[in-house]
C-alpha cells in the first residue's frame, strides 16, 4: 500500500524539454514561468517550446516509429512489461509527483495523490491489454481467406490540460504506448512540472529513444504546430470546446488526422422526490467543489423535483459551508484555488452575471482570503434555463439549482444544451433511473452516484463535448489502424 507523504517544497530537477530521451533547451532559448495559484508566486521557469521544438520532437518520434526501429521490433508483451515498469516507477515516486502537482495546480495534496495513484492503475490496465490486440478472420463468398490485423497508428500528438495534468497524461500515454505508437506530449503551460517529471521515468524504465517526447509551450505556438504537423497521424486533446474547434480545424489543414476530443460540459444531475437527499447532496457538492470546480464533468445544473426542492437547497448550502478552503498542504483542505488570475476573474464574472440576471445567491459568491485565487463554494437557486450561468461552462466552484415537476420535462431540459459529457440521476426507482439513462444525451450516466471514471470504463462526450473515447478497450482502438488481408485459396476439385 502506497503511503501519502506530502512535500511542500519538492525538488524540481526537470525544466527543459524532453526530446529523444534527452533534456534540451528550447531552440529559441525562451522560458515560461509556472505559478503556484495558492500563493500567486512563480515556482520556476521551464523551457518554452514552439514550432521548431515540435518539429524536432516529431522527427524523433518518427525515427522511433520507423520500420525496423528498436521500438517497432519489440513484442507486444515487451511493451506491456515496459508499461508495468513505468507504473512501478510512478508508484515509487508518487509523493514527489503528487507534491509537484499540488504546487503547480494548487489542488489539495490528498487529491493529487489519489490522481497519481489512479494513473498507476491506468498504466497497468493498458499494460495488460498490450498483448491482447488481435484481428478477425471472416468467411467470404469467394474461394479465399479474409482476415484483419490491427496495427499502431503512428505518431500521436497529445495535448494535456491543466486541471488534471498527470492522470489525463496517463489516459493518453498508456493506450498509445500499448498500441505501439510514439508520442509528442504538449502539457499545459500552466502545469508542466508533473509531465516533465515522467520524462525521467520514461528514461529509467528503458523506453527507446524518441518514443515519448515532452514539449511544454503555449497553445497558439507549440499546440498549433503539433496539430498542423503533417507527420502526426492522430491528435488526442482534452480542453475547452472553443479550443477543440481550433484543434479540429488545424488537424484538417495539412492532413486528415484522426482526432479524439474530450471537451467541455454543463452536466445535469437530476434529483427525484424519492431520492436519498443526503446522499444526493453529498455527491453533488463533492462533484462540483472538487478541484475548485475545474472539472469538465462537474454537476453544474442540478434539477430537483419541486416537492423536495427547498429541503435540497437547505442541505446543499449547509454542506457547502463545511467545505474547507486553503493551500494544498494544509490539513483537511477540500477546495484549492482557481488555476490562474484569468480563471479567477472569469468565475467571479459569471457569479456577477447570475446575480444580475435574477438568480438567488444562496451561499458563497466572493473571493476567499486575500492571497491566492480562492473563491468561496457558490450555490445559486431560482435559476432559469436561459440564464448565462445555466448555459455556459463556468469551470469554478459554482452550481445552479433548478426546479422541475415531471420526468418528461426534466429530460427535455437536461438535454437542452450543446454539451453532453456527463449526467446523473438520484431515485430509488430503478426503472425510472434506467429510463433516464436511456433518454439522456451524455457519454456517462451515474445512477445514485456521480460519474466515476475508471480504467475499464470508456469516457467521452456527445455533441460539443467531443468525440472518441478514452479509457477502456475503446481507447486502445483509437490508436490502431485495421488492415484487411485476403488470400486466394486453391480451388477444390
Given this model, what pLDDT does residue 355 score?
A: 98
Dist CA 398 CA 403 (whole Å): 17
Rounded mean pLDDT of 200-216?
A: 98
Rounded mean pLDDT of 76-86?
A: 98
C-alpha cell at 428: 430509488
Residue 381 contacts residue 363 (beta carbons within 8 Å): no
Rounded mean pLDDT of 45-72?
A: 98
Is the pLDDT at 493 greater than 80, yes or no?
Answer: no
Residue 363 contacts residue 377 (beta carbons within 8 Å): yes
Given this model, what pLDDT does residue 140 score?
A: 80
Q: Catalytic pick from 101, 262, 393, 470?
A: 262
Is the pLDDT at 192 greater than 60, yes or no?
Answer: yes
Is the pLDDT at 492 greater than 70, yes or no?
Answer: no
Dist CA 386 CA 392 (whole Å): 10
Domains of the chain: 17-263+466-482 (3.40.605.10), 268-455 (3.40.309.10)
Residue 357 falls in the annotated catalytic set: no
Given this model, what pLDDT does residue 457 score?
A: 96
Is the pLDDT at 264 greater than 90, yes or no?
Answer: yes
Given this model, what pLDDT does residue 213 score?
A: 98
Better pLDDT: 480 or 489: 480
Question: 3-state SS string over 369-392?
Answer: CCCCCCECCEEEECCCCCCHHHHC
Is the pLDDT at 481 greater than 80, yes or no?
Answer: yes
Dist CA 26 CA 125 (whole Å): 34
Q: Taking the CA of residue 340 as centre, how many other CA atoms within 13 Å lie in the half-sphere pointing to its CB?
A: 12
Rounded mean pLDDT of 23-36?
A: 98
- Label residue 83 by pLDDT band (50, 70, 90): very high
Given this model, what pLDDT does residue 480 score?
A: 97
Question: CB within 8 A of 410, min separation 6: which ones?
Answer: 270, 303, 305, 404
Rounded mean pLDDT of 271-277?
A: 97
**Strand positions, DSSP E, 70-200:** 137-138, 144-152, 155-159, 182-186
Given this model, what pLDDT does residue 354 score?
A: 98
- Label residue 363 by pLDDT band (50, 70, 90): very high
Question: CB within 8 A of 243, min separation 6: which ones?
Answer: 219, 237
Is the pLDDT at 74 greater than 90, yes or no?
Answer: yes
Residue 4 contacts residue 113 (beta carbons within 8 Å): yes
Average pLDDT over the chain, rounded to whole?
96
Q: Taking the CA of residue 404 as centre, how many other CA atoms within 13 Å lie in the half-sphere pointing to its CB?
A: 23
Rounded mean pLDDT of 88-109?
A: 98
Burial class (CB in 10 A: 0-12, 13-18, 19+), 163: buried
**What's the pLDDT tens digit per position in 436-456?**
999 999 999 999 999 989 999
Share of the chain above pLDDT 70, in %: 100
**What's the pLDDT tens digit per position in 147-166?**
999 999 999 999 999 999 99
Is the pLDDT at 308 greater than 90, yes or no?
Answer: yes
Amino acid at each position: 500500500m502506497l503511503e501519502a507523504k506530502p512535500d511542500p517544497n519538492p525538488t524540481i530537477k526537470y525544466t527543459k524539454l524532453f526530446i529523444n530521451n534527452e533534456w534540451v533547451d528550447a531552440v529559441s532559448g525562451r522560458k515560461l514561468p509556472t505559478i503556484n495559484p495558492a500563493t500567486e508566486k512563480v515556482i520556476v521557469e521551464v523551457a518554452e517550446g514552439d514550432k521548431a521544438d515540435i518539429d524536432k520532437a516529431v522527427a524523433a518520434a518518427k525515427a522511433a516509429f520507423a520500420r525496423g526501429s528498436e521500438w517497432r521490433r519489440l513484442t507486444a508483451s515487451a511493451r506491456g512489461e515496459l508499461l508495468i515498469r513505468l507504473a512501478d516507477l510512478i508508484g515509487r515516486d508518487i509523493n514527489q509527483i503528487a507534491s509537484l502537482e499540488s504546487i503547480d495546480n494548487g489542488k489539495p495534496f490528498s487529491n493529487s495523490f489519489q490522481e497519481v495513484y489512479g494513473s498507476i492503475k491506468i498504466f497497468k490496465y493498458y499494460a495488460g491489454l498490450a498483448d491482447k490486440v488481435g484481428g478477425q478472420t471472416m468467411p467470404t463468398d469467394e474461394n479465399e481467406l479474409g482476415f484483419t490485423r490491427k496495427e499502431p497508428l503512428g505518431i500521436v500528438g497529445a495535448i494535456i490540460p491543466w486541471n488534471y495534468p498527470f492522470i489525463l497524461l496517463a489516459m493518453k500515454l498508456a493506450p498509445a504506448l500499448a498500441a505501439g505508437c510514439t508520442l509528442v506530449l504538449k502539457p499545459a503551460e500552466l502545469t508542466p512540472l508533473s509531465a516533465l517529471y515522467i520524462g525521467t521515468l520514461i528514461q529509467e524504465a528503458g523506453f527507446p529513444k524518441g518514443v515519448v517526447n515532452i514539449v511544454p509551450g503555449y497553445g497558439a505556438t507549440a499546440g498549433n504546430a503539433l496539430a498542423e504537423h503533417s507527420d502526426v497521424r492522430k491528435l488526442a486533446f482534452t480542453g475547452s470546446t472553443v479550443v477543440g474547434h481550433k484543434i479540429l480545424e488545424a488537424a484538417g489543414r495539412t492532413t486528415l488526422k484522426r482526432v479524439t476530443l474530450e471537451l467541455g460540459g454543463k452536466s445535469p444531475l437530476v434529483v427525484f422526490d424519492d431520492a436519498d437527499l443526503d446522499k444526493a447532496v453529498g455527491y453533488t457538492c463533492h462533484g462540483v467543489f472538487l478541484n475548485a470546480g475545474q472539472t469538465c464533468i462537474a454537476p453544474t445544473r442540478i434539477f430537483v423535483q419541486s416537492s423536495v426542492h427547498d429541503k435540497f437547497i437547505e442541505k446543499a448550502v449547509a454542506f457547502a459551508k463545511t467545505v474547507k478552503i486553503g493551500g494544498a498542504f494544509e490539513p483537511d483542505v477540500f477546495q484549492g484555488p482557481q488555476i490562474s488570475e484569468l480563471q479567477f476573474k472569469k468565475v467571479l464574472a459569471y457569479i456577477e452575471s447570475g446575480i444580475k440576471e435574477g438568480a438567488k445567491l444562496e451561499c458563497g459568491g466572493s473571493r476567499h482570503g486575500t492571497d491566492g485565487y480562492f473563491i468561496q463554494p457558490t450555490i445559486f437557486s431560482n435559476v432559469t434555463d436561459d440564464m448565462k450561468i445555466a448555459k455556459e461552462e463556468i469551470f469554478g466552484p459554482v452550481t445552479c439549482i433548478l426546479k422541475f415537476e415531471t420526468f418528461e420535462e426534466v429530460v427535455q431540459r437536461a438535454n437542452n444544451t450543446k454539451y453532453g459529457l456527463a449526467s446523473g440521476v438520484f431515485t430509488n426507482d430503478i426503472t425510472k433511473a434506467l429510463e433516464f439513462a436511456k433518454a439522456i444525451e451524455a457519454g456517462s450516466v451515474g445512477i445514485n452516484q456521480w460519474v466515476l471514471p475508471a480504467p475499464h470504463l470508456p469516457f467521452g462526450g456527445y455533441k460539443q463535448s467531443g468525440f472518441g473515447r478514452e479509457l477502456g478497450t475503446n481507447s486502445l482502438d483509437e490508436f490502431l489502424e485495421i488492415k484487411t488481408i485476403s488470400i486466394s485459396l486453391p480451388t477444390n476439385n
